[in-house]
Structure formats: C-alpha cells, structure tokens
C-alpha cells in the first residue's frame, strides 16, 4: 500500500500526495496530469511506463534539471525512489529502496499493481503481441521464476537470431544452432507450461465475473491459450514438438534471419458464448471484457501474493452508461484494496461514491 508519493519534475506533476488506504479519486480536466499520476505509481511497480512515449519524456520539459524523481513510502516503512535522468543524450534509471541502490528485479517486487487504461481495449481487439505482453506482465508479477525465465528466453532469442543471420551470410556454421535450439526449447517449454497452468487457475474468476458483473452482458467469458506445441500444461511432449518444429522449419528461419517458432509467437483467444469477442463483440462488450480480465487478475494476484495489489483505473467510466457505472462503483467499493481512479468530470461518479471516498487533488 502507498502511504505517500512525492513527484519532482515528473512530466507536469510536482508535490507530495497522501492517498487513503481505500479508494482515491482523481477528477480533473484533460491535460491536468491524471494519467501521469497513475503512471508514476506504475513506474514504482514495474520500473517502466505503461504508456508508449519515450522514457526521456518522463522529465518535465520546462525544468532546467535533467531528471525526474518518484518517491514513495509504502507499507512496512519502506521508502522507494526511482530517478529518471538524461545524461549525454542517454536515458538512465536508478532504483533505490531505503536510500540504497537496487537492481530492477529487486525494486519492482515491492509494489504490485493492476492497471486498466483506455488502450487496454487492445487486449481483446488488438494484435497477438499486445496479448502476449499483457500475459507476460501479469505472470511476471505473480511469479519471479516466470520473470527470470522470460528474461532468459528473450536473451536466447536475441543470440539465436544473430546466429541465424550469420549463417545466412555464410559467416557461421549451421551446426552451431544445436546449442541454441536446446536453450530455446528448454526456456520456451517452461514459459508455455507456466502460462497454461496460471491461466487454468485464473479462468474460474474470469467466468464468474463475466456472469456476475454488468448484468451478465458478457456471459461465460473464457481465455484460451493457443500454443503450437501443446493444448494443455499436462502435455508431456511439448519439448519434443517444439524441437521437431524448429528442425522442420530450419530453411524458413534461415531465410527470415530470425526465430519463427516458440511462445513469443503464441496467442490468447478470448471468447464469450463460444465466439471470439474481437470479431463478434461490440466495442462496449470488448471494453467490459477487458475490465473483467483485469479484475480477475487482481483477484488472482491477491490470493497468490503476500501483498495486496494496488488497482489503477484510468478514465474507466467514460464509455459506460449510468447503469454500468453504478454496478462498477458497487463492485470497486467491495474490493477492499487500495485503488486510484481518474475521471474528467464529477458527473461520471455518483454523489454517494464521491462522498465516501478520498478526492486527491493534483498540484
């Protein structure tokens, strides 16, 4: 839980903020810094931005100082600080816990967040790489083993791709691929199994929320993991299928100069009433589906981690009708977790909801 957060030169925000342990509302006009505030918390949680802008844009353009600082006191009397700087044209980050420098992996383990932002509609309607990134981020927060395995897998991909290119240029021997094939299969098989296992345990909450929330408008929502090498985590031939596919596709990979097979090419199929929602769902239904998935993630992380996740909801009410807003307010009120919600106008929330919860004013 965040007890205080201090921002210096972070985009258009400055000052010290004291949120409540419950629901914190940030209602302000567009451009006031609402999303920036949530992004500051996300930086403390993941060590990066949830936005697509360059890291260097985190520093206030009007400041004469080439750095931004995000500092927070959290439960357990810990103080976290993330300093983003620009030196000699390079963007740098420094992570601190209680004043001591830490590696990113150690730093990000102190706060867990679940974020819903307008662009998260792409989880349902966007490309496979967006869904992969979402599931990787979710699993990395729930399991350090997964995060380390994912980092190793990405390193293998980079090195194997370089070797494929060198072989295509006749600067290396094809026999050298054997070692990297085995490393790819080893780390990739681990990712596939962990994805299957977690999604299977995660699935009941998705189905429950789809039937209980928003008057069951999207019933029986399911997330199916699509792997080329197995249809369940119990499959004992994932590694064999993986390796066989690589060998059969050797000519294609050499021609492409990159790794074409593995969990970095897998996808998620999100369906309701046995139909892909990205094809048959309306924009409103897709938005609700994305919200349901986020709430299920929150529940899973709450049950499988020692600390309670922080919920970040950016402009969540803007495309919901009054009935859905009311149902959502009641659901959020019952969560019992620290939550930060942004909105552009107080009319997006009921008077009762505004009166019960903390209104956090941006400075």
Find all residues with CB under 8 Å of 160, minimum gap 6, and list them: 177, 180, 181, 183, 184, 259
CA distance 10 to 35: 12
Q: Could you state, in order of their start, the residue ranges of all structural domains in the chain? A: 117-306
Structure tokens at 357: 């919860």
Asked if residues 242 and 265 have their Cβ atoms less than 8 Å apart, the reply is no
pLDDT 10s digits, 136-184: 999 999 998 999 999 999 999 999 999 999 999 999 999 999 999 999 9
Topology annotation, domain 117-306:
Glutathione S-transferase Yfyf (Class Pi); Chain A, domain 2 (1.20.1050)
Helical residues (DSSP H) of the chain, grouped into ranges: 34-46, 104-107, 122-125, 128-142, 144-168, 177-212, 238-248, 250-256, 277-280, 283-304, 322-335, 351-356
pLDDT 10s digits, 242-276: 999 999 999 999 999 999 999 999 999 999 888 89
Report pLDDT for 209.
92
The overall longest dimension of the chain from CA atoms, in Å, is 71
Enumerate residue ranges in the chain where pLDDT < 50: none
CA distance 288 to 328: 10
Closest to 52 in 3D by CA, of 69, 68, 35: 35
Report pLDDT for 88.
67
């Amino acid at each position: 839980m965040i007890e205080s957060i201090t921002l210096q030169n972070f985009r258009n925000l400055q000052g010290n903020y004291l949120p409540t342990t419950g629901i914190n509302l940030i209602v302000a006009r567009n451009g006031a810094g609402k999303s920036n505030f949530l992004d500051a918390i996300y930086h403390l949680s993941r060590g990066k931005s949830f936005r697509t802008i360059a890291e260097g844009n985190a520093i206030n353009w009007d400041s004469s100082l080439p750095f931004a600082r995000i500092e927070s006191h959290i439960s357990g009397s810990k103080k976290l600080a993330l300093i983003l700087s620009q030196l000699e044209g390079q963007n740098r980050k420094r992570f601190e816990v209680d004043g001591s420098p830490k590696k990113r992996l150690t730093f990000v383990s102190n706060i867990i967040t679940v974020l819903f932002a307008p662009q998260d509609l792409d989880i349902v309607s966007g490309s496979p790489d967006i869904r992969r990134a979402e599931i990787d981020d979710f699993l990395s927060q729930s399991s350090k083993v997964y995060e380390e395995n994912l980092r190793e897998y990405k390193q293998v991909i980079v090195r194997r791709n370089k070797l494929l290119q060198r072989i295509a240029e006749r600067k290396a021997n094809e026999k050298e691929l054997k070692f990297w094939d085995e490393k790819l299969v080893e780390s990739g098989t681990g990712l596939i199994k962990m994805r299957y296992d977690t999604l299977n345990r995660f699935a009941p909450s998705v189905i429950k929320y789809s039937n209980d929330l928003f008057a069951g408008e999207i019933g029986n929502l399911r997330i199916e993991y699509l792997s080329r090498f197995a249809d369940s985590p119990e499959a004992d031939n994932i590694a064999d299928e993986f390796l066989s596919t690589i060998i059969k596709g050797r000519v294609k990979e050499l021609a492409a100069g990159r790794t074409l097979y593995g969990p970095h090419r897998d996808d998620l199929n999100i369906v309701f009433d046995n139909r892909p929602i990205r094809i048959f769902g309306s924009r409103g239904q897709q938005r609700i589906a994305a919200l349901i998935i986020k709430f299920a993630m929150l529940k899973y992380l709450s049950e499988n981690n020692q600390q309670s996740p922080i919920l970040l909801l950016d402009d969540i009410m803007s495309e919901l009708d009054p009935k859905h807003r009311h149902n959502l307010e009641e659901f959020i009120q019952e969560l019992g977790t620290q939550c930060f919600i942004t909105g552009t106008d107080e009319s997006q929330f009921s008077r009762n909801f505004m009166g019960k919860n903390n209104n956090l004013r941006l400075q």
